[in-house]
């Protein structure tokens, strides 16, 4: 029985939510393993749009076990809001949601410190406190979910952390300091509301796999935002690559069977950082509007550009994709000529590999192959044979370049606007 990891192959916002939602039907467990409420996974069910930030999108299906793994950084306030919204829409949360004891908590001081550091050095983060929370985790100062059940431990950690944070807020940033008691009471209140979800989820997941259940690991953000393999420092603070599923959920690499890369038919990026194939003219704006390329979490306009096969080859390698899903193909309908980046020019040299040095990547210009576009609408097409010939050629070009099979093609936002070329599980 398969365990499958779903990974964003670009800079996030590839449309993972829809593919996860589709595959969830065949799965029993859906697990988030990294990131936090910086993610925004959009799923459209019966014309109703849901944007999930922390809870695995499997929650929109009946009786799926949805797990927030130890690798996630969790903002209790954001989670409670999400739970509330879902309950109001009739989604059943209790008995379906489980949170790892070792999940780190985003604290108000993480958000406060990020607000200040973004003013000094702009990464263009979502300002959800993600980076500072992972900083505390690695520095071994973090507050974890389990600490909510031990008030003395929680109090001591908040006190020790605030000593440093308040010093920085006051002396380095000239900003308002935070109140220890207020934070403690707030988190004790969260403890009351969230304790029923806390569990040994690593044991649950491993037992499920051993008992032949189908488990889906839902990645957030994308490979080029990975803390190690992305465009550092313009990245998020977690391992967004497939390996992150093992560390972020407590599962051996031996137990992962399938790794599906989600590739948008073009490229987008939010926030700062290099983006060689960015389209800065009218066409970029046209794609943004047609593709609804505005952040699901922050509402920021996404930068839009041509497909970048150099970045995608790197992504296919570090993740080991067993298959690919192409999303938003319909957004390219009606564009006369489609450019695809097949290499980078750096000075007088041609690069075929994604450079590790940010300083080089920033100076690279794309080498494009031009493919003919199609005028027909691909929106809602469900059968591969019905795609325009030029759309098929575009897909074939991607498949041949990456040497990974395209298994799914998404042709619209709705659940059934999808082509299954080869069932990936
Ligand atoms: P952070 O994750 O809030 O620390 O932001 C770091 C970088 O990752 C910024 O460029 C964000 O725009 C980007 N980022 C974080 N989450 C997402 C996402 O879900 N989609 C796309 N970009 C994201």
pLDDT in tens, 341-364: 999 999 999 999 999 999 999 999
Cis peptide before 366 (omega within 30 of 0): no
73 and 87 inside one domain: yes
Query: By the 8 A CB rule, do 354 and 342 touch?
Result: no
CATH at residue 413: 3.90.170.10
**166-211 pLDDT per residue, tens:** 999 999 999 999 999 999 999 999 999 999 999 999 999 999 999 9
- Domain contains 425: no
CATH at residue 90: 3.40.440.10
294 and 168 inside one domain: no
β partners of residue 291:
none
- Boundaries of domain holding 59: 3-99+198-259
Instruction: Count CA atoms within 13 Å of residue 77 on its CB side.
Output: 9
Report which ligand 1 atom has the smallest distance to the Cα of 237: 4
278 and 353 inside one domain: yes
210 and 93 inside one domain: yes
Give residue 41's pLDDT: 85
95 and 116 inside one domain: no
- Residue nearest atom 8 in ligand 1 by C-alpha distance: 236
Pocket lining for ligand 1, CB < 6 angstroms: 12-13, 38-40, 123-126, 128, 130-131, 220-221, 225, 234, 236-237, 270-271
CATH at residue 177: 1.10.300.10
> What distance in Å separates the CA atoms of residue 398 and residue 406, rounded to the nearest whole number?
8
**280-337 pLDDT per residue, tens:** 999 999 999 999 999 888 889 999 999 999 999 999 999 999 999 999 999 999 999 9
Give residue 1's pLDDT: 59
> What distance in Å separates the CA atoms of residue 383 and residue 401, rounded to the nearest whole number?
23
Q: Residue 112: which pLDDT band, with cuts at 50, 70 and 90?
A: very high
Q: What percent of the chain has pLDDT over 90?
A: 92
Which among 270, 295, 297 is the best mutation to test ligand 1's pocket, defined by most ligand atoms within 8 Å of the CB?
Answer: 270
80 and 228 inside one domain: yes
DSSP string, 72-110: BEE-HHHHHHHHHHHHHTT---TTTEEEETTPEEP-HHH
347 and 298 inside one domain: yes
Domain end, chosen from 177, 194, 211, is at: 194
> What distance in Å separates the CA atoms of residue 276 and residue 313, rounded to the nearest whole number?
15
269 and 238 inside one domain: no
- Residue nearest atom 11 in ligand 1 by C-alpha distance: 125
Cβ neighbours around 123 below 10 Å, total? 17
Report which ligand 1 atom has the smallest distance to the Cα of 270: 12
186 and 204 inside one domain: no
110 included as an active-site residue:
no
185 and 116 inside one domain: yes
- Domain contains 346: yes
126 and 227 inside one domain: no
Q: Domain total for the chain?
A: 3
- Residue nearest atom 21 in ligand 1 by C-alpha distance: 12
Residue 304: φ, ψ to 5° = -115, 150
416 included as an active-site residue:
no
Candidates 21, 28, 41, 102; catalytic one: 41
Q: How many Å lie between the centroid of ligand 1 and the Cα of residue 37?
A: 10
268 and 352 inside one domain: yes
């Amino acid at each position: 029985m398969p365990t499958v990891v779903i990974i964003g192959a670009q800079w996030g916002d590839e449309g993972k939510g829809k593919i996860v939602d589709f595959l969830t039907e065949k799965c029993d467990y859906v697990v988030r393993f990294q990131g936090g409420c910086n993610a925004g996974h959009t799923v459209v069910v019966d014309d109703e749009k849901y944007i999930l930030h922390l809870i695995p999108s499997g929650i929109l299906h009946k009786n799926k076990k949805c797990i927030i793994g130890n690798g996630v950084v969790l903002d209790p306030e954001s989670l409670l809001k999400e739970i509330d919204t879902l309950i109001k829409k009739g989604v059943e949360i209790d008995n379906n949601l489980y949170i790892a004891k070792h999940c780190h908590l985003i604290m108000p001081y993480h958000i406060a410190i990020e607000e200040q550091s973004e003013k000094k050095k702009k990464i263009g983060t979502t300002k959800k406190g993600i980076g500072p929370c992972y900083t505390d985790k690695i520095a071994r100062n973090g507050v974890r979910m389990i600490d909510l059940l031990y008030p003395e431990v929680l109090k001591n950690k908040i006190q020790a952390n605030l000593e440093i944070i308040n010093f920085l807020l006051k002396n380095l940033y000239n900003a308002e300091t935070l109140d220890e008691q207020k934070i403690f009471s707030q988190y004790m209140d969260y403890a009351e509301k969230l304790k029923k979800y806390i569990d040994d989820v690593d044991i649950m997941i491993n037992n499920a796999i051993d008992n032949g259940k189908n488990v889906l690991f839902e990645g957030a953000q994308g490979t080029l935002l990975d803390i190690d393999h992305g465009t550092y420092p313009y990245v998020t603070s977690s391992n967004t690559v497939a390996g992150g599923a093992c560390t972020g959920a407590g599962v051996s690499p031996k137990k992962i069977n399938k790794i599906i890369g989600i590739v948008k038919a073009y490229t987008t990026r939010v926030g700062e950082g290099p983006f060689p194939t960015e389209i800065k003219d009218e066409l970029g704006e046209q794609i943004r509007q047609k593709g609804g390329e505005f952040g699901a979490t922050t509402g920021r306009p996404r930068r839009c550009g041509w497909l970048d096969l150099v970045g995608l080859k790197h992504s296919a390698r570090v993740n080991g994709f067993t298959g690919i899903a192409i999303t938003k193909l319909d957004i390219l309908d009606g564009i006369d000529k489609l450019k695809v980046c097949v290499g980078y020019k750096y000075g007088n040299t041609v690069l075929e590999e994604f450079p590790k040095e940010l300083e080089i990547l920033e100076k690279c210009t794309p080498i494009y192959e031009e493919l003919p576009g199609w005028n027909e609408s691909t929106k809602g097409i469900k059968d591969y044979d019905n795609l325009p010939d030029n759309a098929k050629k575009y897909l074939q070009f991607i498949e041949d370049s990456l040497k990974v099979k395209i298994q799914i093609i998404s042709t619209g936002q709705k659940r059934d606007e999808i082509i299954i070329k080869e069932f990936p599980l």
